[in-house]
Structure 1
Amino acid sequence: MIRSRALLSGLLLAAVSAPAMAASVAGPSERDWRAPAPETIMVIDTNKGRVLVELVPEVAPAHVARLQELTRAGVYDGRTFFRVIDRFMAQTGDPTNTGEGASDKPNLKAEFTFRRAADTAFVPMAAPAGLEVGYLKSLPIVSQAWSWSDMTADKKVSAWGTYCPGVVGMARDEDNNSANSQFFLMRQPYPSLDKRYTAFGRVVAGLDVVRAIKTGEPVPAPQDQMLKVRLLSDIPESERPKVRLIDPKGPWFAAETKRLRALKGADFSVCDIDPPVELR
């Protein structure tokens, strides 16, 4: 469990490494970029550098709303990374900096999966064993095959974020509905967390910063910190970074997917793709 105090270390046995990738296809053109909604970008300034996270409300609306609310209230400013495991994740977001705390908001109901509709902006990449894998904005997704929608009352299928490097999830205790304020950022892929912890966003810039955070269970003092956490929409225009993210519906993404599938064959994973980001 990714809990307020401890993780089940045995889960580490399931950790896997993303394979080294060959040279990429030609760089993105203008039509490959998208401008994210500024209220969905968390700008996390740490003592190790800046991290940008895109929140994806389509997959976990209540969790995204909570992160936005706590960010705007300044709850995450000065929070430490109190539990960080190499080749796994970095955990933070405790208002008490002890690993035991939570905000004064009620706990959240789990959003481990969401219902994917025909108009959901999901871009499939492959269809292994009756599933579909692909992207929704910056978040890698696993979904039931769309053919299942013919047999569901709502004409939708179940889907969920999968824990590739950079994916952001919500910590909880044994109770599935005990998530509150603590969250974790993946340093490496860890698919055994899928459908057990709510995934709601992904690091789109600064994964190297996440991987540079001091490790420990718990982390010994002095611990690394989130010095200031803001939503892009709340940063003054004169200070606001300009962010463009790759559009999974664009030609660069399609070409890179085709290249990686040819390169990896049966070993292809949705985690293999590394979507570019443009910062100015």
Structure 2
Amino acid sequence: MAFPAEDWRVLNPENALIYETTKGRIIVELAAEMAPGHVARVKMLAREGFYNGLSFHRVVSDFMAQGGDPKGDGTGGSDQPDLRGEFNFRRGAASNFVRAVDRGGATIGWMGTIPVTSQTDLLMERTSDKKVAAWGNHCLGVASMARGSDENSANSQFFLMRAAYPTLDRRYTIWGRAVVGTDVIRAFKVGEPVVDPDKMISVRVLADVPETDRPTVMVQRTDGPSFQTKLKATLEQRGAAFSNCDLAPEGRIVR
């Protein structure tokens, strides 16, 4: 398969996690611009080997798969301090945002692979920082941080979306999205708690994998002609019901 530059980009290995699980491989692109504190945390824990061997202890069929708890029961975390919520972020004109449609005073689109809703660009001229409020959307494959009742209680536990769940938006911090392995996420054994759960064999920053073993991943550009053709067709089909969860950029392992 050819990967023309106008349609595809190479996934930055420093900005990705690779999960080897009992059901297969997942590769998550990280969203550092949206949630820098959470991205730094999951990368640090991955580099410490914290997640290796931990289970997906809570998996709900048409919802999400939760893991990252050393106790395996939803009550544990790392020895690091809890994180402040990063439910919203500021988007400027230089942000890598690709618009899908404007609706109800908001703009729906993507930043990289992450589905995002934002205030419109028109408001940028009215703000002191020339930016507008934006937030990620919990679509299939999105990686988000679990927390307790305190908004600032996220630590090490996270969840991977098995379906769209918009009621989580602006309440939980999105820090990435699976570009490879959404089928793996949906294949995890279900339960609350899970009996004999699936596990993370290893979790590494992709850049830390030796070059001879490191997969090269191509990711579809949302601003490329191929994706834009799909977007146009989906908008025509879905009309007012369109959501940026209806369409996701593809990821392909090429080596």
TM-score scaled to structure 2, two decimals?
0.96
Query: Deviation at 1:177?
Result: 0.5
How far off its partner does 1:148 sit? 1.7
Alignment partner of 1:243 is 2:223: no
Q: Report the counterpart of residue 18 of structure 2 in structure 1.
A: 43
Aligned runs of 1:63-142 on 2, under 5 Å?
Answer: 63-142=38-117
Moved more, 60-69 or 250-259: 250-259
User: Displacement, 1:35?
Assistant: 1.3
Q: Which runs of 5+ in 1 are unaligned?
A: 1-26
Q: Which runs of 4+ in 1 moved over 3 A?
A: 27-30
- Match of 1:233? 207
Match of 1:204 among 162, 179, 187: 179
Q: Give distance in 2, aligned partners of 1:241 and 1:147.
A: 41
Give CA-to-partner distance per residue, 1:135-180, whole Å, 9 cap, x none. 1011000001111222222111000110011111000001100000
Mapped contact 2:11–2:216 kept (Cα < 8 A):
no
State the secondary structure of the residue aligned to 2:186.
Answer: helix
What is the CA distance between 1:261 and its match in structure 2? Answer: 0.6
Does residue 167 (structure 1) correspond to residue 142 (structure 2)? The answer is: yes
User: What is the CA distance between 1:203 and its match in structure 2?
Assistant: 0.9
Deviation at 1:254? Answer: 1.5
Task: Name 1:52's counterpart in structure 2.
Answer: 27
| Secondary structure class of the residue paired with 2:149 | coil
SS in 2 for 1:127: strand
Alpha-carbon offset, residue 118 of structure 1: 1.0
Per-residue CA deviation, residues 98-124 of structure 1 (Å, 9 max, x unaligned), is: 211110111101100000011011001
Residues 242-277 of structure 1: CA deviation (Å, up to 9, x unaligned):
111011221112211111111111111111113121
Aligned residue identity for 2:155 = N
How many residue pairs align between the two structures? Answer: 253
Q: What corresponds to 1:264 in structure 2?
A: 238
1:217 equivalent among 189, 192, 196: 192
* More off after superposition, 255-264 vs 79-88: 255-264
The code of the aligned residue for 1:103 comes to S
Tell me the SS of whatever aligns to 1:45.
Answer: strand
Per-residue deviation, residues 183-233 of structure 1 (Å, max 9, x unmatched): 00000000000000001110111111111101111112x111011111110
Partners of 2:253 and 2:242 lie apart in 1 by 29
Identify the residue that residue 255 of structure 1 maps to in structure 2.
229
The DSSP-based 3-state class of the residue aligned with 1:195 is coil
Q: Name the amino acid aligned to 1:264.
A: R
Q: Would the aligned equivalents of 1:28 and 1:252 in 2 still touch at CA under 8 Å?
A: no
Same amino acid, percent of matched pairs: 48
Greater alpha carbon shift after TM alignment, 199-208 vs 146-155: 146-155
1:144 corresponds to 2:137: no
- Root mean square deviation, CA, Å: 1.2
2:111 alignment partner AA: L
- Aligned partners of 1:95 and 1:217: how far apart in 2? 16
Aligned counterparts of 1:119 and 1:102: Cα–Cα separation in 2 = 36
Offset at residue 28 of structure 1 (A): 6.4
Aligned-partner SS, 1:42: strand
Q: Aligned letter for 1:105?
A: Q
SS in 1 for 2:125: helix
Give, in whole Å, the separation in 2 of the partners of 1:39 and 1:205: 16
Q: Give 1:64 deviation, angstroms.
A: 0.3
How high is the TM-score relative to the length of structure 1? 0.88
| Counterpart contact for 2:113–2:248, Cα < 8 Å | no
1:29 positional shift: 3.5
